[in-house]
Amino acid sequence: MFEVVLILNMIWFAMGFNVFSLRSKIFAKLLVPRDQRDTPVFDILAESGKFLGGFNLAFSLFNLLLLFNLSAFATDSQRAILLFVFAVAHGSQFFFNVPVVIQNRSGGGAWQVKGVIRFIFVTDFIMTCLNGLLAIRYLV
């Protein structure tokens, strides 16, 4: 199960790198309404997404390296620590979106959590749970 979660982490973080860094304009279009995309803030958001993509690239690479070096983190407590950190990485992206979702319900929010953004929101929650539950399993 550990290897499966590492593969899922690697893929998800690689997809984050792709969207935030390599396709940063598409990322910005997901958040910025069409009528506001001709402002300088749109370009700033698109460029700042590359920063977030860099973190996703590092986490993707870390999961890949772990897959090829499982013996470097062979104990249950070591694996639990790694999985907990990955759960926090996914969870931070989920939990910081929760207030926006709540604001969306009353017609507000900095962006709309729908479509692709909802998919990202839900997937980050699932990945938080997978990593967190497996970390707990290793500790018990």
Over the stretch 19-36, which tens digit does the pLDDT of each residue have? 888 988 888 888 888 888
Residues whose CB is less than 8 angstroms from the CB of residue 128 and which lie 6 or more positions away in sequence, other chains included: 87, 90, 91, 94
Q: Which two tokens stand for residue 73?
A: 């983190």
Distance CA 68, CA 53 (A): 23
Distance CA 4, CA 93 (A): 21
C-alpha atoms less than 13 angstroms from C-alpha of 99 in its C-beta half-sphere: 3
Judge contact between 62 and 82, C-beta under 8 A: no
Judge contact between 14 and 56, C-beta under 8 A: yes
Q: pTM here?
A: 0.87
At 67 the pLDDT is: 95
pLDDT over 70, % of the chain? 100
Contacts 24+ apart (CB under 8 A), 111-116: 111/30, 111/31, 111/32, 115/30, 116/30
Over the stretch 33-63, which tens digit does the pLDDT of each residue have? 888 888 888 888 888 888 889 999 999 999 9
Sign of CA dihedral 93, 100, 27, 40: negative
Mean pLDDT estimate for the chain: 92
How would residue 119 be classed by pLDDT, with cut points 50, 70 and 90? very high
